[in-house]
Structure 1
């Protein structure tokens, strides 16, 4: 009986670990107009529960013409919702200025039971954020 219970607990823990690995990776979001504007966002979710975010914008006739913004912190997943947090003492400095506290994103992927030919790209959609331009942005997994 102990062996059966131990085996079931081990299998359950392995499936939990496998599900969290689905979130890990690089995500991109970009907008551009030929020759005029370019806005790129890159989000990296690491296995150790940390993330790094980079925002780059190059706008013709903008002031300043090129802007880089960075953010970092920790992420946690519950079901398909990823919650981001930043510690003011550890995650903020002259380079990392974006505050991801109270930010949440929804993980969207094709359901393994869906046997149709339709293509659904794996992505994160920000549903809540105190950074106004982050809400409703789709970040596609690379």
Structure 2
């Protein structure tokens, strides 16, 4: 009986761990024209619960031809919603200036039970964000 119970607990813990691994990785969102403009966002979710965000824009004939903005902090997942947080003492400095406090993103992926041929790209969609230019953007997993 103890062996059966231990085995069930082990399997349960492995399935929980496997589900959280689905979120981990690099996500990207790129907007560009052939010659003039390039805007690229990159988000990396690490296994230890931290994240890094990089925003890069290069606009030809703009006042600021090249702009880099960075953010970092911690993330947690519940169901398919990822909540981001930033701590002023740990996550902000000269380089990391973007505030992810109270930001949320929805994780979208093809359900493993879906055996159809339709293609659903794995992505994150920010549904709550204090920075308006990131709200409702799709970040596709690389």
Tell me the TM-score normalised to structure 2 length. 0.98
5 Å-filtered alignment, 1:18-37, equals 18-37=18-37
CA distance in 1, matches of 2:63, 2:85: 30
Q: Secondary structure at the match of 2:40?
A: strand
CA distance in 2, matches of 1:113, 1:17: 19
Q: CA deviation at 1:26?
A: 0.4
Matched, 1:115 2:121: no
Q: Secondary structure at the match of 2:117?
A: coil
Q: Which residue of 2 aligns with 1:89?
A: 89
Q: Which residue of 2 aligns with 1:45?
A: 45
Aligned residue pair count: 142
Please list every run of 5 or more consecutive structure 1 residues that lacks an aligned counterpart in the other structure.
none
CA distance in 2, matches of 1:65, 1:103: 28
Q: CA deviation at 1:118?
A: 0.8
Cα RMSD (Å) of the superposition? 0.7
Tell me the TM-score normalised to structure 1 length. 0.98
Q: Secondary structure at the match of 1:9?
A: helix
